Amino acid sequence: MAGGVRRGGGGARPLVLLCAAAVSLGGAQVTSETKEVPENQPVDIPCSAYRSSWTDIRIEWKFQKGSSLGLFYYGGELTDPYKNRVRFSVTSIHLTAVTREDTGKYICKVVGGGSQIAKSEVNLIVQVPPSKPTAHVPSSATIGRTAVLRCSESEGSPPPTFRWYRDSMLIPADPRSSLSFRNSSYTLDSTTGELTFNPVSAFDTGDYYCEASNNVGTAQRSDTVRMEASELNVGGVVAAVVVLLTLLGLIAFGLWFAYSRGHFQRKDTASKKVIYSQPSQRSDGDFKQTSSFLV
């Protein structure tokens, strides 16, 4: 590699190194690590695969986000859209200000003379505070049935965890651990944000809101939604069934009555009959009717 290549600029905020590993893949040494950096801050992503002792070195960088994989640095040049925001050196790449779109895997591949190959990977997590979550709470729940409350948030990175509150009191993971919730039966998943009552009890009536946090910035709280737990209205159900049966009976009676009156019978189109009557003997002065027809 030609001399005079600039190394990554200094002054970057210290990154959190979560894990590092080294494996051998198809004869190539592969190292892997994870870093976190706040959004809009600079970051240096190292190429641990670089070997100063190798000759005829060729370096490639790739960026993987989900199932998408694209070239970042190839043929001695940065590709678009990284030319104006990335500095390259043989040992690292420097991003001047990361955005949430930069979260992903950065793969450095180094090829030396004599078929020497080494790879290093950095999983970069750009830290983004959670936005205001949305609490999906049913306005009413039937006692003895199942009710699911959901908390959702889509911007936080890393993905946030969730907590639930009822009447401004934190709902513990285990209802048996609190005197205020020991009469409730529920499961709480802090990762998905689901609070499931199974079954709902009268004690579950209250004002609910959820909170999302990922240790970046401050935790965010949803709006408050009230849920009323009530008994199944058996009287109302019976009344509705009686009304429905009455309507069906009236419809059936109406159909029967119309049928009995012949409204649904096909009318016979009788053929026209012609009746001929012979003229009677009349005097010449009388009006003579030669024939008559009756239809």
Q: Over pLDDT 90: what percentage of the chain?
A: 60
Domain that holds residue 209: 134-230
Residue 144 and residue 220 share a domain: yes
Q: Is residue 22 in a domain?
A: no
pLDDT tens figures, 46-105: 999 999 999 999 999 999 998 999 999 998 999 988 888 899 999 999 999 999 999 999
Residues 189, 106 share a domain? no
CA dist 176 to 172, 208, 240, Å?
9, 19, 40
Specify the range with the lowest mean pLDDT, choosing from 5-9, 177-181, 215-219, 278-282.
5-9
In a domain, 252, yes or no: no
What is the CATH classification number for the domain harbouring 64? 2.60.40.10
Q: Say if residue 273's pLDDT is above 80.
A: no
Is 43 within a domain?
yes
Q: Are 9 and 94 in contact (CB under 8 A)?
A: yes
Same domain, 140 and 117: no
Helix (H) or strand (E) holding 249: helix 234-260
Total of domains in the chain: 2
One domain, residues 108 and 151: no
169, 119: one domain: no
Average pLDDT over residues 108-113: 93
120 and 40 in a single domain? The answer is yes
What are 95's two structure tokens?
């991003």
Q: What is the pLDDT of residue 1?
A: 38
Contact (CB, 8 A) for 230 and 140: yes
In a domain, residue 48? The reply is yes
**Distance separating alpha carbons of residues 122 and 18, to the nearest angstrom:** 11
78, 79, 82, 83 alpha-carbon torsion, rounded to 10°:
60
Instruction: Let me know whether 138 and 224 are in one domain.
Output: yes
Predicted local confidence at residue 29, as pLDDT: 67
**Domain end point (choices 127, 149, 176):** 127
Give the domain-ending residue among 188, 210, 230.
230
**pLDDT number for residue 253:** 72
3-state SS class at 202: helix
pLDDT at 36 over 60: yes
Query: Residue 268: which pLDDT band, with cuts at 50, 70 and 90?
Result: low
CA torsion sign for 154, 158, 159, 162 is: negative
Q: Residue 72 falls within a domain, yes or no?
A: yes
Residue 242 is assigned to a structural domain of this protein: no
Residue 156: band (very low, low, confident or very high) from pLDDT cuts 50, 70, 90: very high
Please indicate, yes or no, whether the overall pTM of this predicted structure exceeds 0.85: no
pLDDT in tens, 162-208: 999 999 999 999 999 999 999 999 999 999 999 999 999 999 999 99
